[in-house]
Structure 1
Amino acid sequence: MVKRSKISCVSVGLIRATIVTLICFLAYTLIATFCFGTIENMKVNSIFIMIFSCFSIFYGAVWAARTSGEKGWLMGLSVSILYIVIIYIISIVAGREAALVGRDFVRAIIAMVVGTLSGMIGINI
């Protein structure tokens, strides 16, 4: 396999993770709206947001680590940190407060752990 530059691998992995997130959220919104008539249950939404984010980070980190050919944990960690930053910026633009609460730090730590482990898995596939 041809090794690519690390910036290229992380960038494409991040783009792939973002696309997977958009597809998952679109599918969830359509299913929840047409089947249940509403998506206002915040506990269920929070669980699905975390599941979709972890799955997206997993996919992007595995792809970035696999294409880079080395330092999978670092590729996965980079993808997860950039993913968190992008989601945070998008949520601020969408109208959320800029202040971080404890739940946000827990989500960030979970995302970084998932990204690091996914990078390790991706390099060994």
Structure 2
Amino acid sequence: MEWENYFKSIFKGLIFALMATFLVTAILSFIMNSITLPDGLFNIIYVVISSLALLIGTVAAVKNYGSKGWIIGLSVGCIFYISLYFIGILFGAEASLTVYDFIKFALCLLIGAFSGMLGVNL
């Protein structure tokens, strides 16, 4: 029963994170129709959007589970990055792993772990 609750919590956090990412990205796309952003700024904005969405999803998952915040956070961060990677490939992104991809993966794990610790203590 504990494993079932663990995976339900991770799935709930992943859904929260993906919904937040898609919602804020849709808002950003409407804003970009009226103003022009440099490419470098867009990459920074995307990292901030992903980080905040992961924070929201991880806190939701940890609040649902109630303990083991950093483990839940690492799990949500890992699955969140893998999900975004495959969604990107599905929509035409290049399917190659570069140093930048490994940095983003490590950042997702780090943010997930710290968000999990934060979620337990809220």
Please give the TM-score of this superposition, normalised by the length of structure 2: 0.93
Cα RMSD over matched residues? Answer: 1.2
Whole-angstrom CA distance in 1 between matches of 2:76 and 2:66: 15
Whole-angstrom CA distance in 2 between matches of 1:14 and 1:96: 21
Whole-angstrom CA distance in 1 between matches of 2:26 and 2:94: 23
Residue 71 of structure 1: how far off its partner (Å): 0.4
Aligned counterpart for 2:82 among listed residues 77, 85, 103: 85
Residue 94 of structure 1: how far off its partner (Å): 1.2
Residue 30 of structure 1: how far off its partner (Å): 0.6
Q: Which residue of 2 aligns with 1:9?
A: 9
Unpaired stretches in structure 1, ≥5 consecutive residues: none
Q: Which residue of 2 aligns with 1:53?
A: 50
Whole-angstrom CA distance in 2 between matches of 1:28 and 1:96: 19
Q: Which residue of 1 aligns with 2:97?
A: 100
Q: Which residue of 1 aligns with 2:39?
A: 42
Whole-angstrom CA distance in 2 between matches of 1:52 and 1:99: 22
Q: Which residue of 2 aligns with 1:18?
A: 18
Which structure 1 residue ranges, 4+ long, deviate > 2 Å from structure 2?
none
Q: Which residue of 1 aligns with 2:64?
A: 67
* Cα offsets for 1:76-106 (capped at 9, x unmatched): 1111101100100011111122111111111
Residue 45 of structure 1: how far off its partner (Å): 1.3
Residue 31 of structure 1: how far off its partner (Å): 1.0
Whole-angstrom CA distance in 1 between matches of 2:106 and 2:23: 24
Unpaired stretches in structure 2, ≥5 consecutive residues: none
Please give the TM-score of this superposition, normalised by the length of structure 1: 0.91
